[in-house]
């Protein structure tokens, strides 16, 4: 389910976060759907369980998932918030990249033309 790039400079836990947020935003993961346990996901991905735990903790802090004691980890009901947050994050990256291009001497028109 989750694709990791072990050659990437992006930490594995951040890749897990990105993939789960993407799946939630696309509706692949539905509200209240149970996720794999930390141990199961670590085993499937061939990584340390602490890495998955770090990703799950971050996702829980963001409100993407919730953990119910003795029941498991589930996708939050708050998908609209997750989707808006993801869109805002991408728009911010685009704006930051446009600012960098302008610092390199491109005008807004040149940026738009190249896009």
60-113 residue pLDDT tens: 998 899 999 889 999 998 777 777 877 888 899 999 999 999 999 998 889 888
Domains of the chain: 12-114 (1.10.10.10)
Question: Rounded to an integer, what distance in angstroms lies between the CA atom of residue 34 and that of residue 14?
Answer: 20
Q: Which pTM value belongs to this model?
A: 0.74
Q: What tokens appear for 13 in the block?
A: 């836990």
Residue 48: what pLDDT? 97
pLDDT one-digit tens code per residue, 14-45 = 999 999 998 998 889 999 999 999 999 999 99
State the residue for tokens 């996720």. Answer: 35
DSSP letter (8 states) at residue 107: -
**Residue 41 and residue 52 in contact, taking contact as beta carbons nearer than 8 Å:** yes
Structural element, H or E, at residue 74: strand 72-75
């Amino acid at each position: 389910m989750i694709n990791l790039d072990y050659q990437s400079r992006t930490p594995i836990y951040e890749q897990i976060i990105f993939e789960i947020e993407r799946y939630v935003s696309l509706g692949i993961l539905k509200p209240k759907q149970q996720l794999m346990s930390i141990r199961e996901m670590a085993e499937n991905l061939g990584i340390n369980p602490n890495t998955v735990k770090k990703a799950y903790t971050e996702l829980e802090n963001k409100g993407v998932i919730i953990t119910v004691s003795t029941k498991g980890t589930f996708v939050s009901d708050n998908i609209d918030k997750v989707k808006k947050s993801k869109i805002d994050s991408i728009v911010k990256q685009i704006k930051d990249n446009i600012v960098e291009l302008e610092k390199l001497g491109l005008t807004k028109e040149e940026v738009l033309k190249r896009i």
